[in-house]
Amino acid sequence: MGSIVIQNETTPDPISLIGREAGVCWGADVTNKEKNYKRGMDCLASGHGRTWEYPQVYMILDGYSARVIREFYTHIGGGPTRLQASTRYINYQKGFPFVTPPKIAANEEAEKIYRQTMEEILRGMQKLEAMELPREDIGMLLPLGMETKVVFRTNLRNLIDMSHQRMCTRAYWEYRGLMQDMCQALGSYSEEWKYLVEHYFVPKCEVTGFCTEAKCCGRKPKKES
């Protein structure tokens, strides 16, 4: 299972920061902590999305599949930046950790087939390495199920938007788990993050009040057309 570490560069007081930045433009007294917090809360409730881009988040995602990280990379709002563990320079010849989906793990025969396939890929890589072929070419065999590591920087707005898509019941199970881990990690980082996670990190049907997906899970009704 993957894990998320929130790095110290992350804004500790995102709501207050929003209030301070907005206050500058409103000619307000930005030395008053209570007023800054209240102004930040007003910006959130009013949906003034641009102000949500001030709080920065730095995190390390480790142990998730390359497949879920491929989906993670589609969230480009706010110009996030990230670096990922190299498949050119890391030596995977002794083995690569991989994610086993719960439904496969729960089925003994399926788990055996899955694990043996991974082992077969590894054997192929080792044979190619023995033939002294370039590691960057051998790495083409690595599967989407392999675990990877990403160091990531984004802002609050990007993560709220991501939560709407990826906390949807229709989203890929591993991404939903990743979002739960993210909520847990951010919620533990500070009280202001805890508030944001509890009130703003929700599936999109909680925002719209109805389901926008073609195949509805029943959590909210479909919109009457």
Ligand X SMILES: Cc1cc2nc3c(=O)[nH]c(=O)nc-3n(C[C@H](O)[C@H](O)[C@H](O)COP(=O)(O)OP(=O)(O)OC[C@H]3O[C@@H](n4cnc5c(N)ncnc54)[C@H](O)[C@@H]3O)c2cc1C
Contact footprint for ligand X (CB under 6 A)? 74-77, 158, 161, 165, 168, 170-171
Q: Minimum Å distance from CB 204 to ligand X?
A: 8
Cβ nearer to ligand X, comparing 12 with 77: 77
Cβ nearer to ligand X, comparing 190 with 212: 212
For ligand X, which residue has the nearest CB?
77
Contacts of 122 (CB under 8 A, 6+ apart): 92, 95, 96
Answer whether 83's CB lies under 8 Å from 73's CB: no
Cβ nearer to ligand X, comparing 168 with 185: 168
Q: Minimum Å distance from CB 115 to ligand X?
A: 27
Cβ nearer to ligand X, comparing 77 with 101: 77
Q: Minimum Å distance from CB 32 to ligand X?
A: 33
Q: Minimum Å distance from CB 22 to ligand X?
A: 20
**Integer Cα distance of 99 and 215 in angstroms:** 27
DSSP for 26-91 reads TT--TT-HHHHHHHHHHHHHTT-GGGGGSSEEEEEEEEEEHHHHHHHTT--TT--EEEE--TTTS-
- Phi, psi at residue 136, to the nearest 5°? -65, -25
Cβ nearer to ligand X, comparing 121 with 211: 211
Sheet containing 3-6: order of strands: 3-6, 56-65, 147-155, 81-84
Q: Minimum Å distance from CB 171 to ligand X?
A: 4
